[in-house]
Each structure stands twice: as structure tokens, then as C-alpha cells.
Amino acid sequence: MNQTAPAMRMSAAGTPPRLSGFANWADRNFKWLLVAPAVLLILALSIYPLVFSLVVSFINYDFQVPGHAFVGLQNFERVVFDPVARWSLLLTAILSGVSVGIEFVLGLAVALAMVKSFPGRGVVMSILIVPLFISPVIVGQAWTLLLQRPFGPTNYILGALLGQDVTIGWLTESPWLYISLIIADVWQWTPFMFVILLAGLTSIPSNLYEAAELDGVGAWQTFWAITVPHLAPMMLLALTFRLLDAIRMFDTIFIMTGGGPGTSTYTASYYLYTVGFTQFHLSQATAGSWLFLIFTALVVTLLVRRLLKVEAS
């Protein structure tokens, strides 16, 4: 009896303890339990608001009208047939397209100038990327102070250069108010293009340029034969990221023009803000947000497909 007791104790110590039903289930599904908090957080902060907004777009969720009656597609029809909504979408496309195009050209030019090392290059680069770290609200306020008549110095400087009085209403007269918005956007986001394109330029093998120089190839031909093909994926990536951000233009418009005069500087984001949070037509604003989301998704799909084709080639 005494001889078998140690053997029994060793056998019992060598076998793992039996788990309870819940502990056994938790052990089998341990990996899912690890990601469960993140999934629940995403569902609470992303999926639920999207589903709720989709429901709101089909009902009468208006602070000025009691009840939440089902109205079907009426909210979408109001947005589609609203001339201000159509104008805001057109203006969004024009402003974002022109701004991103100018930023791309200027960013590429600066990147080509900065790709070679020279004394003080680090200081110059640090100064160039400063606008990226400034809030768009601050940028809009700064350009308002520079351009606003009669206190802004812009008209005075132009008058001194041209030798005559300049009384341009940069924030009140067309087309100058659109030019003002483009200038502010270009000033802030050209460094974004510059940083991405400079990274692409530095990744191009230098021996390609050395071989082209030995063969007597000119700078313009070298640019189109070597730089553009190797830089094309980064170009398209920079254009895609910047365009997706530009179509949401709101901050600078809110500060510089307030959407005016009238509705002349309403972009899609500013139109949705005005309808939803100024006029309190939340259902119409939500329906317009879903239409804008669909439009943005189409643009993203086209750009991403084009980017994948460039990378595959």
C-alpha cells in the first residue's frame, strides 16, 4: 500500500488538470477572444453609425417635423434635384482637380530640384514641409488676413509692383475667391506631393542616369525615358491620396468664404454640413452623404485599378 502511493502521486502529477467546460471552450477559441474587443469596438464606432445613417436616409428625421415616418427615396430625390447640390459637386470636382494638378506639378518640380545634395539642403527641406503640420483652419485664417480687403497686404504689394491701385476682392468676387481657395490649398499640400515624389526619385537607381549620360542622352529625354516610368507608381499613389483628401475640402472654405457669397463656394462637404447642421434637415444630409460616398467609391475604384495596373507592369 505504501509502495504504490508514491507511484499514484507521480501519475497524478504527470497528467494535466482537467479543465472546466468554459475554460475548455476558451482554450479552443483563444485567438477569437483576443480579437473580440477590437471587433466589438469597430462594430460600435463604425458599423452601427453606418447602418443607422442608412436607416435615417429613408425616414423623415427632421428636427422641424415631428415623427420619423418612412419616406422611401424622397431624401435622395431632394438631393439629386437640388441645384445647389449639383453645383457643390461640380465645384468640388473643379477645385480638387485644379488644386491637385497644380500641387503635383509644383511638388514634382521641387522634388527634382531637391533630389541632389547641396549645402543647406536639410534646412530647406525642413522649411518646405512646415505647411503640412499646420491645421487647415489656421491656414484659412492666415490667408484670409493676407487677402482680405482693405487690411490685407496682397493688394498693396500688387499695386506697388504694377504701379497702380489694385482693389481685388479676393474673398468676395468671382473668379478671385476660387483662386484664393486654390492658392491656400496649394500652399499647404504641395509639400505632401513633394515628400512622396522625392521618396520615389531617390529609389531610382543612379546607374541608369549614369548610363544615359554616357550615351549622350539629353536631360529631357532622360526624364521621359527613365524618371517618368520608374516614378509612375509613386505619382499615381500621390495623386490618389491627395485627391481623396481634396474632395473633402471644408476647413479653408468655412474660414475664408463661409460658402459665400450666397452658395457660390459650396463644396459637397460644405453643402452637407449646411443642410444637416444649419438647416437641420438631417435625413436629406444623410442621403446626400451616401450619394457622395458612392461617388467617392467610384473614383477610388478607378484610381486603385489604375495603380494596380501600373505596379503590375
pLDDT 10s digits, 52-107 = 889 999 998 877 677 788 888 999 999 999 999 999 999 999 999 999 999 999 99
69 within domain boundaries: no
Please tell me whether residues 36 and 179 are part of one structural domain: no
Please tell me whether residues 184 and 265 are part of one structural domain: yes
Exposure class string for 200-222: b at 16+ Cβ within 10 A, else e: bbeebeeeeeeebeeeeeeeeeb
Exposure class string for 62-87: b at 16+ Cβ within 10 A, else e: beeeeeeeebeeebbebbeeeeebee
CB-based contact 253:270 (threshold 8 Å):
yes
Provide mean pLDDT across the span 276-303.
Answer: 89
Does residue 219 surpass a pLDDT of 70? yes
Please tell me whether residues 98 and 243 are part of one structural domain: yes
Provide mean pLDDT across the span 245-268.
Answer: 92
Percent of the chain exceeding pLDDT 70 equals 92
Which residue in the block uniquely carries the three cell numbers 499514484? 8
CB-based contact 276:57 (threshold 8 Å):
no
Q: State which residues form the domain around 192.
A: 76-312
The pLDDT assigned to 16 comes to 55
- H-run or E-run covering 107: helix 83-114
Please tell me whether residues 36 and 84 are part of one structural domain: no
CB-based contact 291:75 (threshold 8 Å):
no
In the chain, the number of structural domains is 2
For residue 120, what is the domain's CATH number? 1.10.3720.10
The whole-chain average pLDDT of the chain stands at: 87
22 Cα distance to chain centroid:
46
Provide mean pLDDT across the span 288-308.
Answer: 86
Does residue 234 surpass a pLDDT of 60? yes
Please tell me whether residues 199 and 272 are part of one structural domain: yes
The 10s digit of each residue's pLDDT in 20-38 is 677 777 778 878 888 888 8
10 within domain boundaries: no
The residue type found at 5 is A
246 within domain boundaries: yes
40 within domain boundaries: yes
Please tell me whether residues 41 and 182 are part of one structural domain: no
Please tell me whether residues 109 and 241 are part of one structural domain: yes
Does residue 11 surpass a pLDDT of 60? no
Please tell me whether residues 121 and 236 are part of one structural domain: yes
Which segment of 46-50, 93-97, 163-167, 303-307 scores lowest on mean pLDDT? Answer: 303-307
Please tell me whether residues 208 and 303 are part of one structural domain: yes
Please tell me whether residues 117 and 25 are part of one structural domain: no
Question: For the whole model, what pTM was predicted?
Answer: 0.83
The residue type found at 295 is F
Is the peptide bond between 16 and the residue preceding it cis, with omega within 30 degrees of 0?
no
Please tell me whether residues 168 and 299 are part of one structural domain: yes
Please tell me whether residues 100 and 199 are part of one structural domain: yes
